[in-house]
Amino acid sequence: MDAPNLHRRLRKIIGQVQAIDRMVDEDIPCEDVLSQISAAKTALHRCGQIALEGHIRHCVRDGIEHGDAEKTIESFTKAVERFSNMGR
């Protein structure tokens, strides 16, 4: 997993969420707040994509090459299910 990239992105998302919180306190128009919430949600989704890609490139590849392929497939399926539920 590309941990430095994820950490950098997550720090930005934390800043975005803190800014949204300030917007609420400052009585910023609702549509502007919603726009920023959408941007933070998109950024968080991208982090999930990066984490899933890392899982495939490292955990799944290693599991298939050196481990139990069936267990690896189950783990991969669970990871995809969890990621796909992020949008709900």
Q: Each residue of 44-67: pLDDT tens digit?
A: 999 999 999 999 999 899 999 998
Say if 10 falls within a structural domain. Answer: yes
CATH code, 53 = 1.20.58.1000
Say if 17 falls within a structural domain. Answer: yes
Helix axes 69-84, 30-54, angle to 10 degrees: 170
Instruction: Give residues with Cβ within 8 angstroms of 43, minimum separation 6.
Output: 9, 12, 13, 16
- 28 φ, ψ to 5°? -70, 145
Question: pTM of whole model > 0.85?
Answer: no
Say if 41 falls within a structural domain. Answer: yes
User: What confidence score (pLDDT) does residue 2 get?
Assistant: 85
The rounded distance, in Å, linking the Cα atoms of 10 and 48 is 11
* Residue 57 belongs to domain spanning: 3-83
Say if 88 falls within a structural domain. Answer: no
Say if 66 falls within a structural domain. Answer: yes
Per the structure, how many domains does the chain have?
A: 1
The rounded distance, in Å, linking the Cα atoms of 41 and 88 is 11
